[in-house]
Structure 1
Amino acid sequence: MVEIFTVGGGDYLVNVFQAVAAWTGNGGYKSLLQVVMVMGLGLSAITLAFNQDWRAWINWFLGATLIYSCLMVPRLDVHVTDRLNPSLAPANVSNVPLGLALMASFTSQVGDYLTGSAEVVFGLPGDLNYSKNGMIYGARLYDATRSLRISDPEFAANLDEHFRQCVFYDVLLGRYSMKELAETSDIWTTIAPGSQARAQRFLTRDTGTGQVTSNIITCREAYDALNAQWAGLIDGMGTVFGRQLYPNQTAALAKAKLFADLPVAYQYLTGVSANATEIFKQTLTINAMSQAMHSMAATSGAGNVDVYAQTRADIQTERTYGSIASNAMKWVPLLNVVLTVLFYALFPVLFPLFLLPKTGPLALKGYVTGFFYLAAWGPLFVILHMMLMYKGAADMSAVAGSSGLSLASFTGMADVNSDIGLLAGYLIASVPFLAGGVAKGAMAISHHATSYLNPSQNAAEEAAREASTGNVSLGNTSFENSSV
């Protein structure tokens, strides 16, 4: 038995190998190969008759016999190992042709070894490796959790009321400053224990009837009541959110994976040492407090034109990269799986061509080369993953500073993480071209380098032209125009 490795799509590979085993073991397919052998004999005989080249007949006979005897007749059992789905079942397939089994096993093991070795030497945390959880898993996990909102409507309303009626008045009275709230890594502890001199409206839902009642209680009583509800709220949200992130796992396993991976991602990217419950509480509190705050900001008009040009260029660049990135993050990893499945499935289709004179060895060489082309995708994914995670960790740690995850750093960290996601998606789109050009050297792919920067360059040129000439055009709409 030989082992075949893949990063995702293991169930597709199992189905393809089962189909190939059944297809090539069919009596009709064996009859097709007999017809092709007769055609090959006829073509080699014609070559011998017209070119007086007896070696053409010998070369075809020996080549076709060896290819058929070595690649098709022997059969092997294969075991598919999916790095993203270790519990894949069924994973064993019997009676796969030796040629397909060995080529798939060798090239996939080479790619898996290079991928695993690259992850070891690059030194990322195990839970953030590409082969375990996919591209920029840590950044994707941070991006998914930063927009969390409280799912319990009564709890959300009570917390919003607590900020507006209790916390903000504590700031005005000097109990703590806005700077303290902005820089603390635990807002909920900082605002404790609540004032006994002020009160707020507090909603309570009857668990039996579902009826909601409203009462006026002191801020301290409200704080204590909310504090007692945090654990249950986070536990319930963790279950629901875990199922959204990991739909292929059970609710319990998804929640356990989320609560295990979240601290690792935050520790690596931001330097925040906290468990998943603390991260959930701080994130939910920041979002709730931001929602309760109403502020205005104004700037002088001295440099409005320059600010406009830079802002417009940044926005246009981000939108261009974003449109490419969102598609690339979805279809490039899927394209790798699709191409791999197609290469495996084409074995019985292309095998008759391997038995023909002259074209047979060339077709076999091209087919084998395709396997190595696909095997190069994994190491390229890992290298891009490493570079982007390093950059994300450096930038987000710089934004977080000594305060870690706080109200002051939350927006900046989110912006940095968003940029990393956009850049990752855009660079992933280059992997198919990079993998094809690796064997030809750097010059074969050098012409792609400038195209990566075209969106940013074009956006900057267009914005600078508008700012320098004063011809600003925004929000124009043209609909059903016609010229006669």
Structure 2
Amino acid sequence: MNHVITTYGGGELFTLVFNGIAALFKTDHTGLVMSLIRVGLMVGSVYVVVLMLVKAQVIEGFKWFLWVVVATNLLFLPKTTIWIHDPLCNTRSKVDNVPLALGIFASTVSQVGKSITEQFESVFTLPDYMPYHQTGTVFASSLMSQVGQFRIVDPTFKGNMERFVNQCVVYDAMIGHKYTLNDLQNTPDIWTMVVDNASPVLGFLYKPGNEPGSVVTCKVGATELNKLWTAQIKRATEIYGTRVNNRTLTLNTFNTELMGSAKLLSGAMAIANSATDLLKQEMMINAIEESSNNKLSELGSASNYAATKALLQQRSAYAAAGEIAARTLPLFKNVIEALSYALFIFIVILALLPNGYRSVLTYCGILAWTQLWAPLYAVLNLIMTLYGKHESVG
């Protein structure tokens, strides 16, 4: 029989924890379980003898002995194999020699928690919603936040883009005849706007590859840069977009999830026809900010520079909502759950004391309690996603 423990983002951690438990519960000289049982028996026997003398009831000793036989032979010494399933990372790890009682109960409450979580998310949902049990906590916000980190990575293309922005974009924006800094902030497609309005008179140094390069007009340079965008976006995605919220993403998966996140959070499908357009917009925001800071501080006053930088930092407002929760809450849940499983090591001693079954029942309650977090996280995911959506469009 397969005993499966489902975790959302903690697959590697839980595998290490259960491997550690399995190692400690070996019955040979390398394990710790026999020593723990001996300590528990010694303390328990002293306690029960005193109890028998005080109450003058032999039945107390008999009940304790019967419980010790059941606990050691059914709970601690038998072993089983479990599987750690992480839907977010799409991993499934096998762990052998886990105590039977822990494996069965942990698997049972885990599957109950998984079922409740999925039922919760079938009710607490939004159009184009990204469920917690499939993507993790506020995955959409995390993904959009990561998009804000996208930069041009090719040094040649970056150098050409910096010179283009400095000579062809900043000057036009400062003059305000073709477009203004406010226009740069509000346009859904910065690149198209600057290309359509590129000057046929002004120019910049364009370097193709390692060649010395030559001065070309802004119009010609924009045409040349436009030919390279697709390859540059793909290259940036391979660096910045392969892992989000501990999920490893392929290029196609990233693009699909990106458009879903944008549509969910801010209706960006109306302003971006594809993931490529969305990434190009974000990379242009970063390119303008990075390339123009010095130029703007030289040409304008300090207050104008500060205002301009604030405008250019429009970097995906919808990404900020839920970012802290996305980073900390799943980690906190997984740590608490992992500690709960590791606590089973000390239950051995407590369980061998008189009325030790109460310790076992309390421990079972702790494991069941940790499984209630996942359904609540599903509701939290909905709340934070809805909040992020309102923040982005508000």
TM-score (norm 2): 0.78
Q: Is residue 3–residue 81 contact of structure 2 (8 Å, CA) maintained in 1?
A: yes
Mapping for residues 78-117 of structure 1, pairs under 5 Å: 78-88=82-92, 91-117=93-119
* Cross-structure match for 1:14: 15
Query: Runs of 5+ in structure 1 lacking a partner?
Result: 300-321, 399-484
Paired with 1:27 and 1:177, the residues of 2 have a C-alpha distance of: 76
Amino acid at match of 2:282: T
Deviation at 1:109, TM superposition (A): 1.9
Deviation at 1:198, TM superposition (A): 0.8
**Secondary structure of the corresponding residue to residue 206 of structure 2:** strand
**Secondary structure of the corresponding residue to residue 128 of structure 1:** coil
Bigger shift: residues 181-190 or 219-228? 181-190
Mapping for residues 239-388 of structure 1, pairs under 5 Å: 239-243=238-242, 245=244, 249=248, 253-273=249-269, 274-290=273-289, 292=292, 294=296, 332-358=329-355, 360-388=356-384
* Cross-structure match for 1:231: 230
Paired with 2:65 and 2:280, the residues of 1 have a C-alpha distance of: 73
Paired with 2:267 and 2:122, the residues of 1 have a C-alpha distance of: 21
Paired with 1:183 and 1:364, the residues of 2 have a C-alpha distance of: 61
Paired with 2:184 and 2:28, the residues of 1 have a C-alpha distance of: 76
Residues 120, 248 of structure 1: alpha-carbon distance in 2 compared, 3 angstrom cutoff: closer
Deviation at 1:100, TM superposition (A): 0.7
Deviation at 1:389, TM superposition (A): 0.7
Paired with 1:147 and 1:74, the residues of 2 have a C-alpha distance of: 51
Residues 267, 56 of structure 1: alpha-carbon distance in 2 compared, 3 angstrom cutoff: same
Deviation at 1:124, TM superposition (A): 4.8
Q: Is residue 149–residue 240 contact of structure 2 (8 Å, CA) maintained in 1?
A: no
Q: Is residue 166–residue 198 contact of structure 1 (8 Å, CA) maintained in 2?
A: no
Q: Is residue 130–residue 136 contact of structure 1 (8 Å, CA) maintained in 2?
A: yes
Q: Is residue 168–residue 202 contact of structure 2 (8 Å, CA) maintained in 1?
A: yes
Paired with 1:86 and 1:205, the residues of 2 have a C-alpha distance of: 42
Q: Deviations over 1:384-439 (max 9, x none)?
A: 221111011122123xxxxxxxxxxxxxxxxxxxxxxxxxxxxxxxxxxxxxxxxx
Q: Deviations over 1:327-359 (max 9, x none)?
A: x7655533433333333233243213212213x
Residues 37, 200 of structure 1: alpha-carbon distance in 2 compared, 3 angstrom cutoff: same
Residues 176, 92 of structure 1: alpha-carbon distance in 2 compared, 3 angstrom cutoff: closer
Residues 201, 53 of structure 1: alpha-carbon distance in 2 compared, 3 angstrom cutoff: same
TM-score (norm 1): 0.65
Mapping for residues 330-479 of structure 1, pairs under 5 Å: 332-358=329-355, 360-398=356-394
**Secondary structure of the corresponding residue to residue 123 of structure 1:** coil
Deviation at 1:369, TM superposition (A): 2.1
The partner residue of 1:76 within 75, 80, 85 is 80
Paired with 2:23 and 2:182, the residues of 1 have a C-alpha distance of: 70
Q: Is residue 142–residue 245 contact of structure 2 (8 Å, CA) maintained in 1?
A: no
**Secondary structure of the corresponding residue to residue 93 of structure 1:** strand
Residues 140, 71 of structure 1: alpha-carbon distance in 2 compared, 3 angstrom cutoff: same
Report sequence identity in percent. Answer: 26
* Cross-structure match for 1:429: none
Q: Is residue 39–residue 349 contact of structure 2 (8 Å, CA) maintained in 1?
A: no
Paired with 1:162 and 1:86, the residues of 2 have a C-alpha distance of: 43
Residues 27, 228 of structure 1: alpha-carbon distance in 2 compared, 3 angstrom cutoff: closer
Residues 143, 58 of structure 1: alpha-carbon distance in 2 compared, 3 angstrom cutoff: same
Query: Runs of 5+ in structure 2 lacking a partner?
Result: 305-319
**Is the aligned partner of 1:201 residue 2:200?**
no
* Cross-structure match for 2:52: 48
Paired with 1:170 and 1:17, the residues of 2 have a C-alpha distance of: 60
* Cross-structure match for 1:155: 157
Amino acid at match of 1:97: P
Amino acid at match of 1:140: S
Residues 53, 225 of structure 1: alpha-carbon distance in 2 compared, 3 angstrom cutoff: same
Deviation at 1:197, TM superposition (A): 4.0
**Count of residues in correspondence between the two structures:** 363
Amino acid at match of 1:9: G
Q: CA RMSD in A?
A: 3.5
Amino acid at match of 1:267: K
- Identify the structure with bigger relative contact order (alpha carbons < 8 Å, sequence gap 6+): 2
* Cross-structure match for 1:64: 68
* Cross-structure match for 2:27: 26
Residues 175, 226 of structure 1: alpha-carbon distance in 2 compared, 3 angstrom cutoff: same
Q: Is residue 198–residue 222 contact of structure 2 (8 Å, CA) maintained in 1?
A: no
Q: Deviations over 1:185-208 (max 9, x none)?
A: 2232234445674130232143xx
Bigger shift: residues 184-193 or 223-232? 184-193
Amino acid at match of 1:59: K
**Secondary structure of the corresponding residue to residue 229 of structure 1:** helix
